[in-house]
Amino acid sequence: MSKQISRRTMLRGMGIAVALPWLEAMAPVAPLIANVARAGDVGTAAPVRMAFLYAPNGMHMNDWKPSGPEAEKFKLKPILKPVEKFRSKMNILSGLSLDGAAAHGDGGGDHARSVASFLTGAHPKKTHGSDIRNGISVDQVAAEHIGHMTRLKSLEVGTEQSSTGGQCDTGYSCLYTSNISWRTERSPLSKEVNPAAIFNRLFGPEPQKTVDNRPLATKAKNRKSILDFVMQEAKILHNDLGVTDRRKLDEYLYAVRDIERRIGSSEKLDQVETDLSSFQRPIGVPRQYDEHVKLLMDMMVLAFQSDCTRVASFMFANAGSNRAYTNLAIKDGHHNISHHGNSREKKQKISEINTFHMSLTHHFLTRLDAIPEGNGTLLDNCMVLHGSGIADGNSHSHKNLPIALFGSGGGTIKTGRHIQLRSGTPLTNLYRSMLQRVGAPVEKFSDSNGLINELA
């Protein structure tokens, strides 16, 4: 029988603080509390998390939108095939639109508008100067409501660095194209691309600004892991836990150590190799794009598992990214081929890139779903949105967007469906519905005009 322990319990030593995963010993003695009654059988006593995964340059919609009858009998098209395993834990939502990304007389710049508006629903001011203006993003609305409960209010992650200014898309500042999270109308939150820096934020002294972004594991010569600092406390706690919780703790500490090892391996490569890519890659960033994404996603999983944060955003690449996916034998830039001009060859390449991104989301979902939590899994207590602010990249359409939502939000969302909403339904209606489930209800968000009642 486990001792009752606080959800805020941490393993500490020499300035290191390692948060714990959700354990059965953290469950309340009296189960009939409001959030448990609302959550039902899945995710008892565990918090609900939200993650937003942004894919640039739109989607090849013919290979995205499910075919066949709506509801549970839909058939997945090629782009969604990598996540077919999670069919019972996802909803595909069709009919959602992002009016804030439309031109509204501002001419070109759809890529900048699509990413700036994706989480805000706002229409960004067209400027390449410092007089930027957008809206507050849904993740930051959530962070303001529930961020005080966790070590980090939110976590912003991506593969390409955020810009500090300049012009990136037809008169729009690069600040718009490289950020999806906005704390205020004039303050975007730069994402972190370096896994080592994220590791420091999750497990370093709190709070502290770190100049040296090497992982904590490589900063001392005479130890192998930050876990060396906290192992004594870990052993004491281990003895107080039940069999199931002991296994959870062991698996979690192994995952922390595995990430340290992978970051350390990337650093060693940097000491002997020269990066010839155009992307300015900080030390500690894996050379292979897919390994970089997986490492970042694994750290997001740890952040959710340890309740370091309940809010995260991720960008597969910046808006208008012209990355070449040589691992797919695609040498053309992604943005260039997104303007396919109805070329069958280019549309096929776009579909392959979209499918590849979804395969990386599959990795994220698999890790979340492998972690038991309450009467379900960590994924069951999440809402993971994968989508884009552009539908077809050639037409720059912002209507009928490709949006997939994974997880049941602590049992509050009925999953396993293709939900066809009325065309033109604001994407922000979905965000209002997500905010309600994460514990940050608002009467209105941006241009929302209701809730997505079909989720229940």
Per residue in 96-139, pLDDT (tens digit) is: 999 999 999 999 999 999 999 999 999 999 999 999 999 999 99
Tell me: the pLDDT tens digits for 72-81? 789 999 999 9
pLDDT score of 278: 41
Task: List the structure tokens of 127.
Answer: 């400027």
What are the φ/ψ torsions at residue 310 (nearest 5 degrees)? -120, 5
Reported pTM: 0.90
pLDDT score of 232: 86
Tell me: the pLDDT tens digits for 147-177? 999 999 999 999 999 887 788 999 999 999 9
Cα distance between residue 445 and residue 122, in whole Å? 10
Q: Is 42's pLDDT higher than 50? A: no
Cβ–Cβ under 8 Å, residues 419 and 66: no
CATH number of 49-193+291-296+310-455: 3.40.720
Q: What is the mean pLDDT of residues 138-143?
A: 98
Q: What percent of the chain has pLDDT over 90?
A: 69
Query: Please, which residues have CB within 8 angstroms of residue 284's CB and are 6 or more apart in sequence?
Result: 194, 195, 196, 197, 213, 214, 215, 263, 266, 267, 270
Q: Is 226's pLDDT higher than 80? A: yes
152-166, 383-397, 432-446: segment of lowest average pLDDT: 152-166
Residue 203, sorted as left (phi over 0), alpha (psi -120 to 50) or beta, turns out to be: alpha
As a whole number, the mean pLDDT across the chain is 88
Residue 422, class by beta-carbon neighbours within 10 Å (0-12 exposed, 13-18 middle, 19+ buried)? exposed
Tell me: the pLDDT tens digits for 52-77? 999 999 999 999 999 987 777 899 99
pLDDT score of 26: 82
Cα distance between residue 259 and residue 396, in whole Å? 38
Cα distance between residue 57 and residue 118, in whole Å? 12
Show me where the domains of the chain are located. 1-30+201-284, 49-193+291-296+310-455
Residue count (the chain): 456
DSSP assignment letter at 222: T
271 vs 189: which has the higher pLDDT: 189
Q: Which of 314, 312, 262 is nearest to 288 (CA)?
A: 262
